[in-house]
Chain A
Amino acid sequence: MIDWFAIIMGSTLFLLMIPMVYRIWVGPTPFDRMLAVNVIGTKTAVLLVIIGTLFDRVDMFVDFAIAYALLNFVSAIVVSRYLNRTISLREMEEREKAKGAKV
């Protein structure tokens, strides 16, 4: 009963991740891609707990899930800071060039 529930739950979760892959593929901005990667990472932590239920070793897989959730959060923060800073610097240079051309 619990095994079948875990199998159906995990495969449905995996099938519902496919639209996120579509959003990574076509996403117009880098932020869309990063958002979809963040959602997939969070769901992978859930999927690890489900796999642990399937193998009757939840006590081992829960630690993996904790590490994965932490890594996912850190990567989201770091990538958002990186995109913000680089694009802002480029924008600042372009604005300075435009200002110099106008004067």
Chain B
Amino acid sequence: MIESMGVLRVVAEAVDAGGGIVPFQIIGFVLAVVGLVFFLGTSVGMVRFPDFYTRMHAAGKGDSLSTMLILSGFALITMEDFSLGSWLLFVKIMGIVLFIYITSPTSSHALMRAAFEDDEMPLEEKDLNKPSKVKK
């Protein structure tokens, strides 16, 4: 299948040389591992940060970026041959990535607005001196 496309001759030679691992898949591995590092930052921030708004800061950014990176990585990993079915799969996974890219900041914004209208005040500098407040 790959040899018949002609344009991707270099890729086909790399498949034969590397024992079934396409360079696309190496890029996919790297993207997925980078996304996992971002998710590690999100989970550490969700535990360690003292305030709701700072936790929102950790979760809103790290979650959406790590989801997009891991899904893009697995979209490249599942791209084994360049047939029509695998292109359809690639487009579907990229559709999930686009959906997350739109909706994850939107839901974060809605939750933050609901918390702000509920008189949930951000932590101030004088609250940091009280250890019982930080412990929560």
Partners in one complex: yes
Residues of A within 8 A of B (CB): 1-2, 5, 9, 12-13, 16-20, 22-23, 28-29, 31-32, 34-36, 38-39, 42-43, 45-46, 49-50, 53, 58-59, 62-63, 65-66, 69-70, 73, 76-77, 80-81, 83-84, 87-88, 91
* Residue pair B110, A88 in contact (C-beta under 8 Å): no
Shortest Cβ distance from B19 into A: residue: A1
Shortest Cβ distance from A18 into B: residue: B43
Chain B hits for A39, CB < 8 A: 42, 46, 59, 63
* Residue pair B43, A20 in contact (C-beta under 8 Å): yes
Given contacts A16-B40, A28-B136, A83-B114, contact A91 B119 (CB under 8 A): yes
Given contacts A32-B52, A35-B55, A59-B85, contact A69 B99 (CB under 8 A): yes
Q: On chain B, which size bracket covers the interface?
A: 35 or more
* Residue pair A46, B70 in contact (C-beta under 8 Å): yes
Chain B hits for A49, CB < 8 A: 71, 74, 93, 96
* Residue pair A31, B63 in contact (C-beta under 8 Å): no
Residues of B within 8 A of A (CB): 20-21, 25, 29, 32, 36, 39-40, 42-44, 46-47, 52, 55-56, 59, 63-64, 67, 70-71, 74, 77-78, 85, 88-89, 92-93, 95-96, 99-100, 103-104, 106-108, 110-111, 113-115, 117-120, 136
Chain B hits for A31, CB < 8 A: 52, 111, 114-115, 118, 120
A-B contacts, 25 listed (Cβ < 8 Å): A20-B46, A22-B47, A23-B46, A23-B47, A23-B55, A31-B118, A32-B52, A34-B111, A36-B46, A39-B46, A42-B67, A43-B63, A45-B67, A45-B100, A49-B74, A50-B74, A53-B74, A53-B77, A53-B78, A58-B78, A58-B89, A62-B92, A69-B103, A77-B106, A81-B114
Distance A32 CA – B112 CA, assembled complex (angstroms): 10
